[in-house]
Amino acid sequence: MRFTPNSDAVVQEMLNSIGLQQLEQLFDDVPDQVQMKRPLDLPPEMSEMELYSHLSHLAGKNMAAAEHPCFLGAGAYDSYIPAALDQLLLRSEFYTSYTPYQAEISQGILQAIFEYQTMICQLTQMDVSNASLYDGATALAEACTLAAVHTRKQLIVVPETVHPEYRQVLDTYAISGYYEPVFVPCPDGIMDWDRVAGIMNEQPAALVIQHPNFWGHLEPVEKAADLIHQAGGLLIMVVDPLSLAILKPPGAWGADIAVGEGQPLGNALNFGGPYLGFMAVTRKLMRKLPGRIVGQTDDVEGKRGFVLTLQAREQHIRREKAGSNICSNQALNALAAAIYLALLGPRGLKEVALRCHQLAVYAQRRLEEAGFPLLYEKPFFREFVVKTPDAAAINQRLLAQGMVGGLEVDGGMLLAFTEKLNRQDIDRLVATFKGE
């Protein structure tokens, strides 16, 4: 490392104060094999204008999903974000402390979180929502922990139609010992009911069902609810929030816990994060709900106010009884979701959901006519898998045509359709699939 003449003496004085002679001694505990033995590969110093031009040139090499038709989904979607949303996020009343413990100076962000919770409850038809978790995968893991703590059982039944990355996070959280996930093979694209029913004899704590599932298909949820409730366990539903504008919500199915990824609600792709995991439960489970909960009250003058509530949780008291170690929330992402839902309203959200579904139906029909049928002949919302032996080659052709293709899976390609696409984009997709 090099320093200017003015800084050398200061650095040496700091080293002397902790009993060291050389700067390199600070890194003695770092294994030699992971230490960098060369200078950083950086160009010479630049002015601000030169640096901006250089970084713009490098960024121009990327293929931004926002500027091209994107058919990649699998849990993160290139949805349209209204222009008003980013501007509203900049309002000063949201610039309060990171943790809004002092209600008297945090009313803006507390009200925003309260409104977010209310909208999630309305969307899912559940009783109570928190605000919020890191992403959909961790929300599911926290839901499984809650179910195990509540039922005092450990077995969690998880069909393999649940997102594979969610299942990986479940495995990681299971190290805590709170629960034990059992993953059920599902070779036909939806839950294998015979195998799931066989496990019910073991009286599991919960059954997880993703609806629409990872392959985009709709699961027969009613049967799942009956199976697990008869066994004395809880039903955990993983849902796409956009689908709830046109599909039956978890509360109406009898779900005990509803979780999901809130990214489609006004949050950009952001290279994979940050996102937000939403979580809502029935009233009987609310005191075990991890994360923050904001409540509405009256102040000493009788005016409406907002406070953190139900605080007998992991960060405060009774920590030894905590079932969760969540110590943060995705407040900015939750605020974006609340603004998005408020801007669109129920009618707008339904129109977006219907457009996604209609585009998916059109694409499925066109692809089947071109010789690319569904891998699984099941109902879908806005994603499906088409059969193709050369998904990688097709993705390369799509990329050359300025399109972002789907997710390559065994036997085909998982394609997703958002409201930003149109019929012309889909016609180009089909033509590229055919090699035209």
Residues 6+ apart with CB under 8 A from 433: 367, 370, 372, 388, 394
Q: Which CATH number fits domain 69-81+346-433: 3.40.50.2300, 3.90.1150.10, 3.40.50.720, 3.30.1330.90?
A: 3.90.1150.10
Residue 328's pLDDT band, with cuts at 50, 70 and 90, is low
Mean pLDDT of 69-82: 96
Percent of the chain scoring above 90 in pLDDT: 73
User: If DSSP codes are grouped into helix, strand and coil, which group holds residue 186?
Assistant: coil
Mean pLDDT of the chain: 91
| pLDDT at residue 296 tops 90 | yes
Q: Could you read off the pLDDT of 209-242 as tens digits, one per residue?
A: 999 999 999 999 999 999 999 999 999 999 999 9
Q: What is the pTM of this model?
A: 0.88
| pLDDT tens, residue by residue, 79-89 | 999 999 999 98
Q: Work out the pLDDT band at 1, boundaries 50, 70, 90.
A: very low
Q: CATH 3.90.1150.10 occupies which residues in the chain? A: 69-81+346-433
Kindly report, residue by residue over 3-29, the tens digit of the pLDDT. Answer: 454 567 888 889 999 999 888 888 888
pLDDT in tens, 333-378: 999 999 999 999 999 999 999 999 999 999 999 999 999 999 999 9
Q: How confident is the model at residue 319 (pLDDT cuts 50, 70, 90)?
A: low
Is there a contact between 101 and 256 (Cβ–Cβ < 8 Å)? no
- Choose between 383 and 327: higher pLDDT: 383
Architecture of the CATH domain 83-340: 3-Layer(aba) Sandwich (3.40)
The predicted pLDDT at position 3 comes to 47
For residues 384 and 364, the answer to whether their CB atoms sit within 8 Å is yes
Can the peptide bond before residue 212 be classed as cis, meaning omega within 30 degrees of 0? yes
Q: What is the pLDDT of residues 157-195, one digit of tens each?
A: 999 999 999 999 999 999 989 999 999 999 999 999 899
Q: Confidence class of residue 138 from pLDDT cuts 50, 70 and 90?
A: very high
Confidence of residue 257 (pLDDT cuts 50, 70, 90): very high
In this prediction, residue 327 has a pLDDT band, given cuts at 50, 70 and 90, of low
Residue 95 has pLDDT above 70, yes or no: no
Could you give the residue range(s) of every CATH 3.40.640.10 domain in the chain? 83-340
Place of tokens 């006519």: 369
CB 234 within 8 A of CB 147: yes
Q: Which long-range contacts (CB under 8 A, 24 or more apart) does 361-367 make?
A: 362/423, 362/426, 363/415, 363/417, 363/426, 363/429, 363/430, 366/426, 366/427, 366/430, 367/429, 367/430, 367/433
Give φ, ψ of 416 to 5 degrees.
-125, 150
CA-based Rg of the chain, rounded to a whole angstrom? 25
Query: Residue 97: CA atoms inside 13 Å, Cβ hemisphere, count?
Result: 8
Taking alpha carbons only, the member of 369, 363, 360, 290 closest to residue 328 is 290
